[in-house]
Amino acid sequence: MATSLKNLSDYDASKVPSAKDLKIGIVVAEWNMEITGALLQGAVDTLVKHGAKEKNIVIKWVPGTFELTLGGQFMAEYEDMDAVILLGCVIQGETRHFDFICSGVAHGITELNLEHNIPFVFGVLTTDTLEQAKDRSGGKHGNKGDEAAITAIKMAALQAEMED
């Protein structure tokens, strides 16, 4: 659903499992730091709100959104994570670079989900303008970081349920 029709930070907290025993990795792009920093804050706040211990939230930075997939792979290979959230922001420019980055990252995150036995959450904003990015990183449309954290909790819980 388009975020203009739904606030990214609105959810039914009663339907979110506890995150108290989860170890969550977050890989954040440095590019568009104003936006990605706000996404990170939203994700961390939401994880803690649902019981995650701050010591169990591992944050790593990568130069840009394109590097999120390799950062996510490193997180899965070198850390024992229940889920990994990938946060970035790509804003349309004058060239096709936007298309290549968005396509590559979406494909890469899909591959990570299929190759590793943990959920990888797509927390990447792909907007036409900086204003749209601000609206989705704590502005009038909520925070994609909140949504990504809820998705990570729910997917980790689903995996745990399936393993039982």
pLDDT in tens, 128-164: 999 999 999 999 999 999 999 999 999 999 999 998 7
> What confidence score (pLDDT) does residue 95 get?
82
Active site residue 116: no
Closest CA to 27 of 118, 159, 135: 118
Q: What confidence tier does 1 reach under pLDDT thresholds 50, 70, 90?
A: very low
For residue 5, tell me if it sits in a domain: no
Count of domains forming the chain: 1
Which residues of the chain form beta strands (DSSP E)? Answer: 24-29, 57-62, 83-91, 120-127, 137-139, 142-143
Axis-axis angle for helices 97-115, 68-78 (nearest 10): 20
CATH code of 71's domain: 3.40.50.960
pLDDT per residue over 57-96, tens digit each?
Answer: 999 999 999 999 999 999 999 999 999 999 999 999 888 8
Range of the domain at 61: 32-163
Given 50, 97, 107, 116, the catalytic residue: 97
Closest CA to 148 of 111, 114, 109: 109
| Residue 17 resides in a domain | no
In a domain, 142, yes or no: yes
- Identify whether the C-beta of residue 145 lies closer than 8 Å to the C-beta of residue 87: yes
Within-domain flag for 70: yes
pLDDT band at 16 (very low <50, low <70, confident <90, very high): very high
* 25 domain-assigned: no
Q: Evaluate whether residue 147 is within a structural domain.
A: yes
83 occurs within a structural domain:
yes
Residue 124 lies in a domain: yes
